[in-house]
A = this chain, B = another copy of it.
Amino acid sequence: MIGVDWGTSAFRAFRIARDGSIRDRRAGPRGILNVVDNRFAETLREEIGLWLAAGDDHVLLSGMIGSRQGWHEAPYLPCPAGPADIAAALTDIPFDWGQVKLVPGLITADEASVPEVMRGEETQIIGCLTALGEAGLACLPGSHSKWARVEAGRITSFTTHLTGEAFAALRGHTILGRMMRDGAIDPARFDEGVARAADAGGLLHHVFGARTLALTGRMPDTDTASYLSGILIGHEVRAALDHQHGEVVQLIGAPDLTALYARAIEACGCYAERHDGEAAAHGLAAIGSHAAWQ
């Protein structure tokens, strides 16, 4: 089968063998925002045409391609949900060159019954079920970071944190960013920000320190972005871990970001194991193996 992780800004396809191993892969910038005039079918054919021609005509798509802004809206499936539940809720899409099915997003509610949604991350989490074991915690950092609880092979609940987008908005559109410089994150300054998040005063107070420390010459302008990143990720990780110690978090995502989150998680007395972008391929393989292909 062919698995595609089709997001907002990226398109990643995997040719997957019957045993779940990845035989080939392609990646490019044709995320749904870069596809004009709803030419999703044509784009898909252009990207994976050679594999289709070779006889692989089972195509499973996950990610924002199944959102209102994508090819076709796949309704959210309620938690708890594992590979078999998700496979039973796939949406078929007409496609002249093969069978195309869409993975649904998941929906749940937190303790205060505020709804939570994800689309794409469920497939990555399913791809790490082995590491998550009987009862595990997964974190997928990003613009909208997700923290998901997994029990007995099913995603039971999750929460979203707007960390990445809040960082970009605070940096790009408040006084905090005025003196910031581009560059790699400085780990020591990042750690200072993570430690700051444990103090009293709250996030809205802590972030202002990124300005006053620079203004008073206590921190170089070049370091304030790292400090701000540490404050925000520190607040997210502390809130998500909620005073638990010794827990193991399965971190799924880009290596530079999971490396930072691992530092913050360890600073909170927990442990992190890091997984890279192939998690989506493994999740697509697991869901696809339960699907009713014709």
Contact = CB atoms under 8 A, between A and B. Distances in A.
A203 interface: yes
A193 to B, nearest CB: 11
Interface in A212-233: 212-213, 215-216, 218, 232
A110 interface: yes
Q: How many copies of this chain does the complex contain?
A: 2
Interface string A247-264: 000000000000000000
A175 to B, nearest CB: 7
A207 interface: yes
Contact of A162 (B110, B204, B215): B204
B204 A239 contact: yes
B199 A112 contact: yes
A163 interface: yes
A144 interface: yes
A22 to B, nearest CB: 32
A42 interface: no
Contacts of A165: 174-175
Which 4 pairs between the two chains have the least Cβ-Cβ distance?
A202-B239, A169-B169, A161-B204, A114-B209
B173 A169 contact: yes
A239 B144 contact: no
A162 B208 contact: yes
Nearest to A197: B202
A224 to B, nearest CB: 12
A115 interface: yes
Given A169-B173, A172-B173, A175-B165, A159 B205 contact: yes
A114 B173 contact: no
A183 interface: no
A208 B170 CA distance: 16
A251 to B, nearest CB: 17
Among A145, A170, A202, A215, which residue has the most Cβ atoms of chain B within 10 A? A202
Contact of A239 (B200, B212, B242): B200
A173 B173 contact: yes
B213 A117 contact: no
Contact of A115 (B196, B204, B216, B232): B216
Contact of A235 (B115, B175, B204, B232): B204
Given A116-B212, A166-B207, A169-B172, 9 more contacts: A114-B212, A115-B209, A117-B212, A144-B208, A162-B204, A168-B174, A202-B236, A203-B204, A203-B235
A96 interface: no
Interface in A95-143: 107, 110-112, 114-117
A160 B211 CA distance: 11
A114 B169 contact: no
A236 B204 contact: yes
A108 to B, nearest CB: 10
